[in-house]
Amino acid sequence: MSRRKDQAGTFELLTRLPQQIVSLAKVEYENAKREVVSKAKKAGIGAGAIVIALFFLFFMLEALVIAAIAALALVWPWWLAALVVAAGLLLLAAAAILAGIALIKRGNPVPEETLERVGGDISAISEVRVNADAHAPRPHQMPRVGEEGNWR
């Protein structure tokens, strides 16, 4: 089995390997940056839309609070109606804060696709190393100086 002249030999391929690993690392780093920026932009646009919606919801809720106080003021004194509605709003605010904290803790922008590719690259490199080690002579298998079959 001979190789063609346009094919690289083992030594040439091994000399290219460090440069290729560095190039691969740079490409994966750029992919990770691009993926994180893309996810961050989408999150920023989503956050802006939520802020606008909250602005309108604030005024809608203000009108509903006034209506609730007015409705309860028909049965109770107005100060008691306002106090009950304020306590209800405090409970709603506490629930929203707890839910927001839980969502923020879960929303870590991790470049999952890039991490999967890098993991595949690392496993491929470790397979190459394991295969290369399987074919390398072990120190205890090498002939000693002066024994039959050694290099002179």
Residues 6+ apart with CB under 8 A from 150: 143, 144
Block residue for tokens 């394991």: 130
Report yes or no: 70 and 149 within 8 Å, Cβ to Cβ: no
* Per-residue pLDDT reduced to its tens digit, 65-102: 999 999 999 999 999 999 999 999 999 999 999 999 88
Q: How far apart are CA 144 and CA 137, in angstroms?
A: 13
Three state DSSP letters for the chain = CCCCCCCCCHHHHHHHHHHHHHHHHHHHHHHHHHHHHHHHHHHHHHHHHHHHHHHHHHHHHHHHHHHHHHHHHCCCCHHHHHHHHHHHHHHHHHHHHHHHHHHHHHCCCCCHHHHHHHHHHHHHHHHHHHHHHHHCCCHHHCCCCCCCCCCC
Nearest-CA neighbor of 113 among 15, 39, 14? 39
The residue assigned the tokens 């923020």 is 104
125 vs 118: CA distance, rounded Å = 10
pLDDT 10s digit of each residue in the chain, 152 long? Answer: 566 667 778 888 888 888 888 898 899 899 888 888 888 888 888 888 999 999 999 999 899 999 999 999 999 999 999 999 999 999 999 999 999 988 887 776 777 788 888 888 888 877 766 665 555 555 555 555 555 554 44
